[in-house]
């Protein structure tokens, strides 16, 4: 499997170099959202002093780290999978001797390795401009890295599972928009979850999104106590197991239903 992943990574890197402008455009989209939220919340905090215990420097640190976490964990498989099913391309994929999940993982990782060339300078620039209060510690960075890796696998597995809806719908893109809108509110991308309405913040505990973005961000920033850290890792393991089970069941049922059409 390591040899197969290595081949996939080399193919991804070669393909991305052929679409350098497109990669830059996609990266702009990934950078603009957290930067806009950063500027808005820093401006509000600067005018009011603090918002929910967050000062301007705290908001700056939160959204800069969030930019990195979101970039390293996001996937686009929901859109890609719909095209495969709708065009009939999946028929050729099914003839390959390994599960297509592995090629998608390698493709995703290869893309993110290349985009570090863009994300790192942006993070440095924002750090210089906004003077964030990072509060990093060796222990929080170590645990946060583990949480970040778990968050990546959670998003990949859950997004891949959700993408299987393309087997039963003509267009799963509309469902994907709802999925990503819910994620925006419940993951902490819009604002730290402590600032959201109480009912929404409570509900976020029972959904996977909180543990894919908010948890690794706050852990890296050393803002969580021991009990919250243990709970966060437990929820990540729980949702990863749930996602894997649903993926296996959904894949078997979906492949039985699939009928190749198109070219």
* Model pLDDT for residues 75-102, shown as the tens digit of each residue: 989 888 988 888 888 888 888 888 999 9
Total number of domains in the chain: 1
**Whole-number pLDDT of residue 235:** 97
139-to-152, 184, 222, 245 alpha-carbon distances in Å: 20, 28, 8, 32
Instruction: Provide the domain limits for residue 56.
Output: 2-257
* 7 assigned to some structural domain: yes
For residue 181 the two structure tokens come to 């809108």
* 263 assigned to some structural domain: no
Instruction: With H, G, I as helix, E, B as strand and everything else as coil, classify residue 242.
Output: helix
**Which own/partner contact pairs does 31-37 have at CB distance under 8 Å and 24+ positions apart?**
31/67, 31/118, 31/119, 31/122, 33/189, 34/63, 34/64, 34/66, 34/67, 34/70, 34/189, 35/63, 35/67, 35/126, 37/63, 37/189, 37/190, 37/191
* 148 assigned to some structural domain: yes
**Whole-number pLDDT of residue 154:** 96
**Whole-number pLDDT of residue 245:** 97
Report residues of the chain scoring pLDDT below 70.
20, 260-263
Residue 70: which residues within 8 A CB-CB, separation 6 or more?
A: 30, 34, 189, 213
* 262 assigned to some structural domain: no
* 172 assigned to some structural domain: yes
């Amino acid at each position: 499997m390591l040899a197969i992943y290595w081949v996939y990574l080399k193919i991804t890197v070669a393909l991305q170099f052929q679409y350098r402008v497109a990669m830059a455009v996609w990266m702009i989209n990934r950078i603009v959202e957290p930067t806009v939220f950063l500027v808005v919340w820093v401006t509000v905090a600067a005018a009011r002093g603090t918002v929910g215990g967050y000062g301007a420097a705290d908001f700056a640190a939160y959204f800069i780290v969030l930019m990195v976490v979101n970039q390293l964990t996001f996937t686009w498989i929901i859109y890609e999978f719909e095209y495969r099913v709708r065009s009939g391309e999946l028929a050729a994929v099914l003839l390959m001797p390994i599960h297509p999940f592995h090629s998608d993982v390698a493709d995703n990782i290869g893309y993110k390795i290349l985009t570090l060339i863009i994300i790192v300078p942006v993070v440095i620039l924002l750090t210089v401009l906004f003077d964030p209060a990072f509060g990093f510690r060796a222990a929080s960075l170590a645990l946060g890295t583990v949480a970040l890796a778990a968050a990546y696998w959670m998003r990949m597995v859950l997004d891949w599972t959700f993408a299987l809806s393309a087997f039963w719908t003509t267009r799963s893109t509309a469902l994907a928009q709802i999925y990503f809108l819910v994620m925006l509110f419940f993951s902490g991308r819009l604002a730290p979850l402590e600032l959201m309405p109480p009912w929404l913040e409570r509900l976020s505990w029972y959904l996977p999104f909180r543990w894919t973005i908010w948890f690794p961000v706050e852990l890296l920033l050393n803002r969580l106590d021991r009990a919250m850290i243990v709970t966060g890792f437990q929820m990540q393991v729980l949702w990863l197991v749930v996602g894997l089970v649903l993926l296996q069941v959904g894949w078997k049922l979906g492949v039985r239903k699939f009928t190749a059409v198109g070219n």
